[in-house]
Amino acid sequence: MRDQPLIDVLHSGAVVLGNDVVCDGFHHPAACRVQTHIHSDHMAGFDRSKGLQEILLTEGTRELLCVERNADLPYRSNVRPIPYHTPVGRGSSRVSFLPSGHMLGSAQVLVEQDDGRRFGYSGDFAWPLGEAIQVEGLVVDATYGKPTSIRHYSQAECNERLLELTSQNRTIGPVHILAHRGTLHRALVVLTEGFPGPILVDQETMAEINVYRKFGASITEVLDVGETAARELLSDQRYVWIGRPTRPVPSTKGDDTTTIKLSAFFSRPDAPVVELGPRSFSVALSDHADFDGTVDYVEATGARVVITDNTRGAGVDLALALKSRLGIDARPSSNAMDRD
């Protein structure tokens, strides 16, 4: 590889891709911010970026952000959605997106410089993917960067177990399913395809569901808890409710409520379901590649220099594994303080 591209992850979590582009964080020298998806751990400095940078993102990400932060986003000319596979020029770089399979609107980021160098950022990603960015230098997510982080079950098995737990416990009493964005909406697709009956959600979740439907998601049989039909189900205490852990859940009577927590992180590599206590379960419904998938992804990109995101502490393990398995120059991110 010619001179090493300027790629790194800063203390703030901002991913630097050359002189023109930063991803999922604020970094003053970069005139352009890319927002790979809307999960909160990737939104650092977003309001600051709105006032000082152009923000590139997919239309799906923009629509979801408008639901959550619908103050001025629809009217800001510096918040610009671009389609997948459509390069746009910024400074001495061209920026383009490929799907990452993580959630609606999520993207891998490819930056092509005028001098021909290509580098990028995986974002949070699932594996396998239809297409991986082709780069010389790569910043890769290391959520499952430890060699022990390997699933010995499929996501299809997770889907089946979620349906089983929901159906079995719905006959006993209320079922409360708790999940964060992305995971929540994936679960809704699974449930509404296989569970015979309406799912109750709050008003904010219904607004997000309408965005997912707009982009083709098959989410049916969902009721806002404020609707008359939903109130009848709540009164009967035989319902399934899904929402975020940080939002209020419907009140229940007695101790026959089942709680199912959906996690993008798996607790055990050999079991998709963990029993946390009486009528309490965790299901690993994840759109993150595991360790083997991460190594396969890096190999598919063709990168010869790789920076592993060490924000969560697994970057060192992943870098050592990539060096050993692929024979490439891999090292953890600096996570240096950014005074800009």
CATH number at 19 reads: 3.60.15.10
Bridge partner list, 330: 306
For residue 210, being part of any structural domain is answered with yes
For residue 188, being part of any structural domain is answered with yes
Name the CA radius of gyration of the chain, rounded. 21
For residue 1, being part of any structural domain is answered with no
pLDDT digits (tens, 9 = 90+) for 223-246: 999 899 998 888 888 899 999 998
For residue 340, being part of any structural domain is answered with no
The CATH number of the domain holding residue 275 is 3.40.50.10890
List, in order, residues 6 or more apart from 174 with CB less than 8 Å away.
237, 238, 239, 240, 241, 250, 252, 256, 257, 258
Do 166 and 128 reside in the same domain of the chain? no
Please state the domain count of the chain.
2
Do 190 and 243 reside in the same domain of the chain? yes
Do 65 and 50 reside in the same domain of the chain? yes
Do 34 and 82 reside in the same domain of the chain? yes
Do 122 and 57 reside in the same domain of the chain? yes
pLDDT score of 340: 57
Phi, psi values for residue 296, rounded to 5°? -60, -40
Strands 93-99 and 107-113, by their bridges, are: antiparallel
Query: Last residue of a domain, which of 283, 305, 322?
Result: 283
Single-letter residue type at 35: Q
Do 194 and 217 reside in the same domain of the chain? yes
List, in order, residues 6 or more apart from 16 with CB less than 8 Å away.
6, 7, 8, 9, 10, 22, 27, 30
Do 177 and 142 reside in the same domain of the chain? no
DSSP 119: E
The low-confidence residues of the chain, meaning pLDDT below 70, are 1-5, 264-267, 339-340
Structural contact between residues 58 and 66, judged by C-beta atoms closer than 8 angstroms: no
How many CA atoms lie less than 13 Å away from 264 in the CB half-sphere? Answer: 19
pLDDT score of 3: 42
Structural contact between residues 181 and 103, judged by C-beta atoms closer than 8 angstroms: yes
Do 240 and 136 reside in the same domain of the chain? no
- The neighbour count for residue 41, using CB atoms within 10 Å, is 11
**Alpha carbon 10 to its chain's center:** 20
For residue 67, being part of any structural domain is answered with yes
Query: Last residue of a domain, which of 260, 283, 306?
Result: 283
Do 183 and 277 reside in the same domain of the chain? yes
Do 278 and 324 reside in the same domain of the chain? no
For residue 338, being part of any structural domain is answered with no
DSSP 73: G
Containing domain of residue 101, as a range?
A: 7-148+290-332
Do 232 and 327 reside in the same domain of the chain? no
Bridge partner list, 273: 283
For residue 179, being part of any structural domain is answered with yes
Do 257 and 182 reside in the same domain of the chain? yes
List, in order, residues 6 or more apart from 90 with CB less than 8 Å away.
20, 21, 31, 32, 54, 56
For residue 2, being part of any structural domain is answered with no
